[in-house]
Amino acid sequence: MKTTIFILTFLLAANNVFSQKKSHQIYNAKGKKVSYNKMIKTLAKQDIILFGELHNNPISHWLQYEVTSDLHKNRKLILGAEMFEADNQSFLNDYINKVITYEELDSLARLWRNYKTDYAPLVDFAKENNLPFVASNIPRRYANLVYKKGFGALDSLSTEEKSWIAPLPIPFDSELPTYQKILTDMGDHGSPELVQAQATKDATMAYFILTNYKEDFLFLHFNGAYHSDFYEGILWYLKKNKDDKMYATISTVSQKEVGKLQKENYGKADYIICVTDNMTKTY
């Protein structure tokens, strides 16, 4: 009798688990379902990985931590992120090296508003495991300058200011589909300067990734998905400057149902994390 009750309890619990709506599913570029372990096995063989997130999506951030932790078991890692601007690198270094506290980092660096919930776990992982963490993004004020006046506005910056940006002049292909889509999506608010501002971010992140990359290490970079979707953005600049590395990309998308990847999301990245669109947000 006890055995029967145990089996029934187990079956009811299992049915409850499997009847719940699935939160996410991982796909490859062709829309085929892929297991997390298979993805990790492939990622571990790369030189540089671009992990594209939806900034307020908790599944993105949870998997970023899990991927980092699992890759660290077998590879020497360098971490980097769009969420930290290059002129804040010294503050980030001081925190990771335990020279300053979190409170001091928060007062000195321009931390994103969701830092505590979404990025602190990654930075603290680097701190606990003595890993480099690269502040890869262009300082926002210079991207805004390009948005207002175009690439030429960067020429008047000081030598120190230019050290926080990809070397000038920045190569630019305005015909890349993701850049063209910015103009389409923004409508009347779109402009050539807006696309150039996006390109300065992509080029700068690529520059600091390659500047800080070391042989036999795996560089894991966190960025908004749009900065690396469809193998453009950051990856376009990486390959333009260093085409002999093994690159992999991850994107995050949101759908009503995660059981089948929608065609418009095919080819966004090597691995696509499809998250249900009623997932809670971190902000």
Distance CA 147, CA 198 (A): 8
Kindly provide the residue ranges of all beta strands, DSSP E only, lying in 24-129, ordered along the sequence. 24-28, 48-53, 76-85
Distance CA 100, CA 190 (A): 41
Domains and CATH numbers, the chain: 23-276 (3.40.50.11550)
Distance CA 282, CA 261 (A): 24
Q: Residue 20's pLDDT is what?
A: 64
Question: What pTM did the predictor assign?
Answer: 0.92
Q: Residue 108's pLDDT is what?
A: 97
Distance CA 121, CA 61 (A): 9
User: Token pair of 142, please?
Assistant: 């210079």
Instruction: Return per-residue pLDDT of the chain as tens, 283 residues.
Output: 444 334 434 433 444 444 467 999 999 999 999 999 999 999 999 999 999 999 999 999 999 999 999 999 999 999 999 999 999 999 999 999 999 999 999 999 999 999 999 999 999 999 999 999 999 999 999 999 999 999 999 999 999 999 999 999 999 999 999 999 998 888 777 799 999 999 999 999 999 999 999 999 999 999 999 999 999 999 999 999 999 999 999 999 999 999 999 999 999 999 999 999 999 999 9
Q: Residue 199's pLDDT is what?
A: 98
Distance CA 215, CA 162 (A): 26
User: Token pair of 210, please?
Assistant: 């390659």
Q: Residue 94's pLDDT is what?
A: 98
User: Token pair of 148, please?
Assistant: 């207002």
Q: Residue 92's pLDDT is what?
A: 98
Q: Is the dihedral of CA 81, 83, 84, 86 positive or negative?
A: positive
- Strand 271-276 vs strand 24-28: parallel, antiparallel, or unpaired? antiparallel
Q: Is the dihedral of CA 252, 67, 235, 233 positive or negative?
A: positive
